[in-house]
Amino acid sequence: MSRRAMLWCAAGLLVAILYPLLFGGPSLIARSNYAINVAFLILFAAFLGQSWNIAGGYAGQTSFGHVVFFGTGAYVSTILHVSHGWNPWLAWPVAIASGGLVGAIIGVLSFRAGLRGSYFALITLAFAEVFRIVANSIPQTRGGLGILIKADQRPENFQFRDPMWFYYLALVLCVIGLAIAWWLTRSRFGARLAAIRENEDAAMALGIDVFREKVRVLALSGAMCAAGGTVYAQKYLYLDPSIAFGVEKSVEMLLVSMIGGAGTIFGPLIGSGVLHLVGEITRDLGNVVPGIKNAQPLALIVYGLILVVIVAYLPDGLTGLLRRRR
Amino acid sequence: MLEVRDLMKSFGGLKAVDGASLDVDQGAIVGLIGPNGAGKTTLFATIAGFHKPDGGRVRFEGKDTTGLPPHLLCERGMVRTFQITQPFARLSVIENIMVGAYLRTADRSEASARATDVARRVGLGDRLEAPAGDLTVAGRKRLELARALATAPKLLLLDEVMAGLNPTEVTAIVEIVRAIRADGVTILLIEHVMQAVMSLAEHVYVLNDGRIIADGAPRAIASEPKVIEAYLGRGAAERMSAHA
């Protein structure tokens, strides 16, 4: 990393650390949970997007069903906590490991069967749907009723009275995600993933165990995504099958990476920022522009337009645009 | 070093390799020639683990390697290049070569140093940062060679590294291949450019319809009637000698 890039990263991190102090906590300007929550969502979606990006962007294993890992993490920690009395902090690592395990299992099954490209994408979508249907049907998840986590806002209980702390948690996750992506750009594992993404046959010829590396990356990606699942459950204290395994989340993860630039370190973060800011602005349009009563569809239309433009003109996402400018 | 015995590989009803046998001695450059569709690339791919053979055996350095997957063969020191070059197009030249170098080291700076060294040996030293997708045909052929070399092979299987190159470029690659052999790497090459086969190989096998129909020194092979017929059709050898 160049000195200048390092300086930029440090500055960005500093701003991110100071941000809540401007709006929340010991308020300097004005206390705004809204500003904190939007920032939380941006960082949180960036982290989930990063987990997708590790497999989809760096290793070229495009998944349409990444939510399967998110939901696994969310349900494992929530069930351990609510039904078995575990402390959520202790349940968290188990949830992360479960996400990794599900990633490895899906990897073994689909890569053993030789599924590549769009076939792999479809099988992940199918896995997520199966998980959703199972979660809807078994008693452990209380089916479609969902699980309520009892509110008990103490830090040792993984619940925080001040949303600032969830913001910081998301920030830590996001930085870990960025660090993993950065490591991929300079490690042997990362080089092998790039080789696999570019050309599996050539990768194989050069001594890479393509199957093993793909299973590994899906396990890593699944573990990361599951970590996010637990955080989500602890923040919103409620979980049901369509939240945990709904296709929208898979799409969001894929979208933030593609818009920002799949296979780049900062792609998911940039994509998440753009997507959420657009979402917030279009939501407010409902109040500003007369005649628009429900701005929700408007946000979707704008998302769609952005995606079309990105896919058509910027295959490397916004990061690619910045790079081309230079 | 390499012993292939009665190797068979069919696709559906087509016997692409039909009981081919050949030997490559340590330190040799051996040529494999034959008309289009003779099964050369299939034979290569089967030796290198890309196809599971339907019959026959492959032994590498005295050990049975029949049906082993490519990455394990590569680890043992047998690496192939592709006739249709398969660059990691969006990676730079040095990143491409480092993928090969990483087979023998996990350390980034060591892999980078090794890759730079290999790039110089094949004449890509001044193009390290170029995206592989931007290389010319000749550049891509060199890159194929470089990536394979970076895995520190004992046996290099070269599949038409000179096809599509102009005579100057061919001469350059011939020199590079000679230098690689001088460094102790054994080479088996498929080649259509006869000038290259004749000047490089000490021993040549001729494959036709999936079988080895002749083998020997390159000069002797070129005048072998069976070989001439394989290339030019039945009776061609007789007509040629009648004209002479």
Q: How far is B229 from chain A (nearest CA, A)?
A: 35
Number of neighbours of residue A67 by Cβ within 10 angstroms:
32
Closest among A222, A265, A231, A269 to A67, alpha carbons compared: A222
Using the 8-state DSSP alphabet, how is residue A187 labeled?
Answer: S
Number of neighbours of residue A302 by Cβ within 10 angstroms:
17
What percentage of chain B carries pLDDT values higher than 90? 72
Average pLDDT over residues B97-112: 96
pLDDT in tens, A133-143: 999 999 998 98
CA closest to B79 among chain A residues:
A205
SS3 (DSSP) at A100: helix
Helix residue ranges per DSSP H, B77-130: 93-101, 108-121
Q: Give yes or no for B82 touching A (CB within 8 A).
A: yes
Going by DSSP bridges, is the β-strand pair B211-216/B155-159 parallel, antiparallel, or unpaired?
unpaired
- The average confidence (pLDDT) of chain A is 90
pLDDT on residue B3: 94
**Confidence grade of residue B51 (pLDDT, cut at 50, 70, 90):** very high
pLDDT in tens, B210-238: 999 989 898 888 788 888 888 877 777 77
pLDDT on residue A5: 86
pLDDT top residue among A248 and A50? A50
pLDDT in tens, A239-283: 999 999 999 899 999 989 998 999 999 999 999 998 888 888 877
**Confidence grade of residue B240 (pLDDT, cut at 50, 70, 90):** confident
Which of A103-107, A198-202, B230-234 has the weakest average pLDDT? B230-234
Q: Which residues are CB-contacts of B112 (< 8 A; sequence separation ≥ 6)?
A: B94, B98, B101
Single-letter amino acid code for the residue at B61:
E
- Per the domain annotation, does A34 fall within a domain? yes
pLDDT in tens, A145-177: 999 999 888 999 999 988 889 999 999 999 999
Q: Distance (Å, rounded) from C-alpha A189 to C-alpha A192?
A: 5
pLDDT on residue A294: 65
pLDDT on residue A319: 83
pTM here is: 0.90
- Point out the residue among B86, B95, B148 whose CB comes nearest to the CB of A191: B95
In the numeric block, the tokens 């030997």 are attached to B23
Is a pLDDT exceeding 60 seen at residue A29? no
- Per the domain annotation, does A321 fall within a domain? no
Burial A228-248 (b: 16+ CB within 10 A, else e): bbbbbbbbeeebbbebbbbee
Closest among A237, A219, A221, A74 to A150, alpha carbons compared: A237
8 Å CB contact between B218 and B204? yes
pLDDT in tens, A275-326: 888 888 877 776 666 666 666 677 777 777 887 888 788 878 888 777 765 4
**Would you call A208 and B111 a contact, using CB atoms and an 8 Å cutoff?**
no
Question: A-B interface: how many C-beta pairs under 8 angstroms?
Answer: 76
Q: How far is B50 from chain A (nearest CA, A)?
A: 8
Range of the domain at A25: 16-247
What percentage of chain A carries pLDDT values higher than 90? 66
pLDDT top residue among A184 and B163? A184
In the numeric block, the tokens 């349009």 are attached to A285
pLDDT on residue A197: 96
- Per the domain annotation, does A260 fall within a domain? no
- Per the domain annotation, does A85 fall within a domain? yes
- Per the domain annotation, does A123 fall within a domain? yes
**HSE-CB for A81 with a 13 A CA cutoff:** 32
Is a pLDDT exceeding 60 seen at residue B72? yes
Q: Give yes or no for B153 touching A (CB within 8 A).
A: no
pLDDT in tens, B175-208: 999 999 999 999 999 988 787 888 899 999 999 8
Going by DSSP bridges, is the β-strand pair B203-208/B55-60 parallel, antiparallel, or unpaired?
unpaired
Single-letter amino acid code for the residue at A14:
L
Beta-bridged to residue B215, according to DSSP, are B205
Average pLDDT over residues A73-93: 96
* Residue from B79, B88, B161 whose CB has the most chain A CBs within 10 Å, to mutate: B88
Domains of chain B by range and CATH? 2-243 (3.40.50.300)
**Would you call B87 and A194 a contact, using CB atoms and an 8 Å cutoff?**
no
Tell me the residue length of chain B: 244
pLDDT on residue A290: 66
Number of neighbours of residue B19 by Cβ within 10 angstroms:
14
Q: What domain count does chain A have?
A: 1
Closest among A243, A229, A272, A215 to A50, alpha carbons compared: A272
Q: Which residues are CB-contacts of B127 (< 8 A; sequence separation ≥ 6)?
A: B93, B119, B135, B139
Which of A5-9, A221-225, B129-133 has the weakest average pLDDT? A5-9
- Per the domain annotation, does A143 fall within a domain? yes
pLDDT on residue B196: 83
CA closest to B86 among chain A residues:
A202
What percentage of chain A carries pLDDT values higher than 70? 92
Closest among B43, B49, B39 to B4, alpha carbons compared: B43
- Per the domain annotation, does A315 fall within a domain? no
Helix residue ranges per DSSP H, chain A: 3-23, 33-53, 67-82, 88-112, 117-137, 163-186, 188-198, 200-205, 210-236, 241-245, 247-260, 267-288, 296-313, 317-325
pLDDT on residue B61: 94
Average pLDDT over residues A48-59: 96
pLDDT on residue A175: 96
Closest among A49, A2, A322, A11 to A178, alpha carbons compared: A49
Helices (H) and strands (E) in chain B, counts: 10, 10
**Would you call B108 and A186 a contact, using CB atoms and an 8 Å cutoff?**
yes
- Per the domain annotation, does A317 fall within a domain? no
